[in-house]
Structure 1
Amino acid sequence: MTTTHNGATMVLPSLGENVTEATITRWLKAPGDRIEHDEPLLEVATDKVDTEIPSPAAGILLEIVAQEDALVEVGAVVAVLGAEEGAAAATPAPAPVATPTPALDPVPTPGPSSTVAPTAGGDRVEKLPRIRRTIARRMVESLQTSAQLTTVVEVDVTAIARLRAQEKDSFHRRTGVKLSFLPFFVVAAVEALDEHPVINSSLDADCTEVTYHSAVHLGMAVDSDRGLMVPVIRDAGALRIPDLARRIADSADSVRNNTIRPDDLSGGTFTITNTGSRGALFDTPIINQPQSAILGIGAVVERLVPTRGDGGSLQIEVRSMAYLSLSYDHRIVDGADAARYLGAVKTRLEAGFAGKDIA
């Protein structure tokens, strides 16, 4: 903050790497209100995340400089704060509350989106939140940037389903985290990247250089009421199933509780989206640029499957099955590359896991 004769100016703080501006979505205090140090003062939206900005000091909010819906650069003044003992002098009457221009008039912002105008037919027209606009732009840019297609394989995860059924209660008591199918899929997907590094690569904008990433920084797509976000789990290849289960749960909680930081959403090298958690059998996910691939995991369902017995006789069994769909950038990943990668993931999953793997 910078102190002036009118008080101390508050600027928009740094919001993470490569974040240069934010939109003021809501002020949580009005001029004349008392504020505590680190008390949430306003909400902002960036291209990556919505977040609260705390007050840098205790005192009185004297003036709102950046109004709601304003696009503000990092380091720009957003408010003027005053010492509490100066509140009487600064607000001798209701005047200071009225000093802001009519921009404080009803720009309805009850949340990340606001109703702009009702229609005669009863339809509702809402302003699209900044984060939703960003998602829309990036999805279109991804499809326009890379040559995307999807390959799908079916996987028998019966062995994993049996282990999970046996161990999920004790795992939850031991770790405090539910044991879903997802960390098993993640382990298999990450292990296969070692054998197929092109899936964990990035192509530059000029299509002249490709970067093969030595570490797997795994983006995990998370559904939230504000839209899709992809927090990144760093060095996922070094994590075991219990660690992954914890990190996945923590990442999802931080997104849904709106405590995710912008830096937590950057630096991914490969992404997994688990649409099976909502019952989808499979999908054709869109690549998270500049990555070269994204893996979609479908729902695990029990189906009647023809198998061969020990003597080669045909028999029908109930098996736990799932589809895996890999969308990839055909500029650098060929269909055979995608099939080989998915084959490696399938082999690892169908081999199953042991109790020690989740201990």
Structure 2
Amino acid sequence: MTKFTFNLPDIGEGIAEAEIVEWHVKVGDMIDEDDRLADVMTDKATVEMESPVKGKVLEVAGEAGDVIAIGSMLVVVEVEGELPGDAQEKVEAAPAPAPAPVVEEVKAEIAPLPAPAPTPAPAPTPAPAAISEKVLASPAVRKRAKDLGINLAEVKPAEGGRLRHADLDAFIAYSSGGGFAPSAKPRADEAKKVIGLRRRIAENMAASKRNIPHFSYVEECDVTDLERMRAQLNEGRGERPKLTMMPLLIAAICKTLPDYPMLNARYDDEANVVTRHGAVHLGMAAQTENGLMVPVIRNAESRNLWQLAGEIVRLANAARDGTAKSDELSGSTLTLTSLGPLGGVATTPVINRPEVAIIGPNRIIERPMYVADGAGGERIEKRKLMNISISCDHRVVDGYDAASFIQSVKKLIEAPALILAD
């Protein structure tokens, strides 16, 4: 028998360590060549580690959430026969599985919260009184009353002597003010270790708020004509991807940025250097099952609306299914974040450090507005309105510049033909 030590390989980007996100094997498992061992993460890219040998797992390097150095032991596998190289160790017989080595856990910069005091067990709830069988009610009403702990004999029907769901609703509403308040069973407390992408997000957001003096500015835009133009473009799109609001906003932003170079920038606060970028590498915040990721649309300023729409879909899908490459998740110069229909009235997004600005369109709502009637007067008309938020790094961006930028974007949004004009 031979021990084969699989060390964590250099997975690029000049990194020195990686975090174990998830184990796919445990001590004692029999594995085949190319079986998945673990998922490890650096920056925001997750890499699958596969076994180069077949055998029995003897040791693993710690638990999910531990950070290990490049070149250190990840897994030790017992294999049959001889293996060349320094990674093997001859043994006379198969040794008993060794306990996993203790790996010192990297501590987060934020002090951990104290453990919550144990929750006292709730007092037993007395069983509800038996439901009178003389009460006229359907089986569904009886079941609902039983689930809610209501004695049907205490409920008075509104009409006809037969209890209905509306009578239960009225009883609940009346009784809630007098002490009766049916509630869901409390969930048990759950302690969940913050690891992987979730931990990276927490660290990045904490560093951003700790190091960057944020300020936010919000402006209301009339997007009625923009939405009308979007619908017209989609009618003749053929095989091209469907246009959402995002490509149009990106096009308006890219058309405006040359006049505001201080916003399309990255700030190295250690070297005290601001780099103002010519190309717009637009970060697009995307929610995934594992947390928020920011894939990057390269050279967004050089793409037309249909190309932007296709790239948005491609990158969002890659982020959600875990196939996004490392260079597709880094190097952004400005970020756009949108919650779509959940966008709210206004947002104050957190800057994606080391960028200096982040833009957040909000939900589109319909409201009556006064508009010119063409004869020197005004009339009331239903319009589609949307707020646009921007958060900036006040160390390098002045409030006047941020407000002027958003006002310039607003002019394009409210006269959308200008977005397509050269």
TM-score when scaled to structure 1? Answer: 0.81
Give CA deviations for 1:7-34 in whole Å, capped at 9, x if unaligned: 5443323444254322223322345533
Partner letter of residue 275 of structure 2? T
What pairs with 1:322-333 in structure 2 (closer than 5 Å)? 322-333=386-397
Cα distance in 2, alignment partners of residues 36 and 331 from structure 1:
53
Cα distance, 1:13–1:234 mapped onto 2, change above 3 Å: farther
SS at match of 1:124: coil
Shift of 1:132: 2.2
Matched, 1:335 2:399: yes
Aligned length: 334
What pairs with 1:74-113 in structure 2 (closer than 5 Å)? 74-80=70-76, 99-101=97-99
Cα distance, 1:41–1:320 mapped onto 2, change above 3 Å: same
**Aligned residue in 1 for 2:367:** 303
SS at match of 1:22: strand
**Aligned residue in 2 for 1:42:** 38
CA contact (8 A) 1:46 1:131 kept: no
**Aligned residue in 2 for 1:263:** 327
Bigger proportion of residues as helix? 1
Matched, 1:23 2:88: no
Cα distance in 2, alignment partners of residues 84 and 249 from structure 1:
48
CA contact (8 A) 1:303 1:321 kept: yes
Matched, 1:161 2:227: yes
Cα distance in 1, alignment partners of residues 281 and 24 from structure 2:
35
Of 291, 303, 315, which aligns to 1:251?
315
What pairs with 1:220-259 in structure 2 (closer than 5 Å)? 220-259=284-323
**Aligned residue in 2 for 1:108:** none
SS at match of 1:150: strand
**Aligned residue in 2 for 1:55:** 50
Give CA deviations for 1:170-195 in whole Å, capped at 9, x if unaligned: 53x513x4421111111111221111
Percent of aligned positions with the same letter in both sequences? Answer: 34
Cα distance in 1, alignment partners of residues 99 and 78 from structure 2:
19
**Aligned residue in 2 for 1:147:** 213
Cα distance in 2, alignment partners of residues 25 and 208 from structure 1:
34
Cα distance in 2, alignment partners of residues 293 and 354 from structure 1:
24
CA contact (8 A) 2:59 2:77 kept: no
CA contact (8 A) 2:23 2:39 kept: yes
SS at match of 1:17: coil
CA contact (8 A) 2:348 2:389 kept: yes
Matched, 1:321 2:318: no
**Aligned residue in 2 for 1:111:** none
The structure with the larger Rg is 2
What pairs with 1:87-236 in structure 2 (closer than 5 Å)? 99-101=97-99, 120=119, 122-168=188-234, 171=237, 174-175=239-240, 177-206=241-270, 208-236=272-300
Cα distance in 2, alignment partners of residues 60 and 160 from structure 1:
62
CA contact (8 A) 1:117 1:126 kept: no
> Greater RCO between the two (CA within 8 Å, min separation 6)?
1
- Runs (5+) with no aligned partner, structure 2: 84-89, 103-114, 121-187
Partner letter of residue 298 of structure 2? R
Partner letter of residue 99 of structure 2? T
Cα distance, 1:165–1:118 mapped onto 2, change above 3 Å: farther
Cα distance in 2, alignment partners of residues 280 and 100 from structure 1:
54
Q: Which runs of 4+ in 1 moved over 6 A?
A: 82-87, 354-357
Shift of 1:100: 3.9
Cα distance in 1, alignment partners of residues 11 and 411 from structure 2:
42
Shift of 1:275: 2.4
Cα distance in 2, alignment partners of residues 16 and 156 from structure 1:
47
Cα distance, 1:283–1:16 mapped onto 2, change above 3 Å: farther
CA contact (8 A) 1:34 1:84 kept: no
Cα distance, 1:7–1:101 mapped onto 2, change above 3 Å: closer
Shift of 1:303: 1.9
Cα distance, 1:63–1:312 mapped onto 2, change above 3 Å: farther
Cα distance in 2, alignment partners of residues 293 and 85 from structure 1:
59
Cα distance in 2, alignment partners of residues 169 and 35 from structure 1:
53
Cα distance in 2, alignment partners of residues 118 and 225 from structure 1:
30
Cα distance in 2, alignment partners of residues 14 and 355 from structure 1:
45
Shift of 1:327: 0.6
Cα distance in 1, alignment partners of residues 360 and 420 from structure 2:
27
Q: Which moved more, 1:139-148 or 1:229-238?
A: 139-148
- Runs (5+) with no aligned partner, structure 1: 105-115
Partner letter of residue 407 of structure 2? G
CA contact (8 A) 1:155 1:346 kept: yes
Cα distance in 1, alignment partners of residues 19 and 230 from structure 2:
45
CA contact (8 A) 1:40 1:52 kept: no
Cα distance in 2, alignment partners of residues 262 and 189 from structure 1:
25
Shift of 1:46: 3.5
RMSD, matched Cα: 3.3
Cα distance in 1, alignment partners of residues 342 and 59 from structure 2:
43
SS at match of 2:353: coil
Cα distance in 2, alignment partners of residues 347 and 257 from structure 1:
37
Partner letter of residue 54 of structure 2? G
Cα distance in 1, alignment partners of residues 223 and 58 from structure 2:
60
Cα distance, 1:192–1:210 mapped onto 2, change above 3 Å: same
TM-score when scaled to structure 2? Answer: 0.70
Partner letter of residue 30 of structure 2? D
Shift of 1:56: 5.6
**Aligned residue in 2 for 1:283:** 347
Cα distance in 2, alignment partners of residues 169 and 84 from structure 1:
65
